[in-house]
Amino acid sequence: MTFNQFKDFVDHMIAKEIPPSLMNGLNMGVIILKDINEEDDSYIMGEYISDELGNYILLYYGSFKEALEDESIQVWEEEIIATIKHELLHHVEALANDEQLAKKEEFNTTIKGNSLHPLKQLINHLNNYFRGKRKN
């Protein structure tokens, strides 16, 4: 999928498929960058941003291209739809002051890292402490 095809599909999605109420408060809309965004050997397809400029979704065409270059247009479209829905969920949660998805993603990222998450450290500590103290 070319950059222009990508942009046209995103524009179509926003105009025809996304309820306008979900776009409320997304004052800078959806911004498409040609960049590749990579983190821990994974491509970041998009992200929701809320900063001093406003609220917006960034889509990284370069990441889509790297990850989906040999895939069909249908696969590209499915991934674009999934990414936009995912980022809109972050937006709706932020508006509602309920960022459970962001917290879950942060937790999962920490668990996948080389160092143990503090919760996992605690579980390991408790398992070691109670090993042998249990009566069967």
Whether the per-residue pLDDT at 85 is higher than 60: the answer is yes
Q: What is the mean pLDDT of residues 112-116?
A: 47
Among 41-45, 83-87, 118-122, where is mean pLDDT lowest?
Answer: 118-122
CA dihedral 60, 66, 69, 72 (to 10 degrees): -50
Joined tokens for residue 58: 């960034």
pLDDT tens digit string along 42-67? 899 999 998 898 999 999 999 999 99
- Rounded distance between C-alpha atoms, residue 92 and residue 50, angstroms: 12
Joined tokens for residue 65: 């291209």
- Please report, as a single letter, which amino acid is at residue 101: L
For 132, left (φ over 0), alpha (ψ -120 to 50), or beta? left
3-class secondary-structure state, position 103: helix
**Band of residue 110 on the pLDDT scale cut at 50, 70, 90:** very low
**Separation of first and last alpha carbons in the chain:** 61
Instruction: Say what the pTM is.
Output: 0.71
Enumerate the domain spans of the chain.
Answer: 3-98, 99-136
Whether the per-residue pLDDT at 36 is higher than 90: the answer is yes
* Top-level class of domain 3-98: alpha beta
Whether the per-residue pLDDT at 91 is higher than 60: the answer is yes
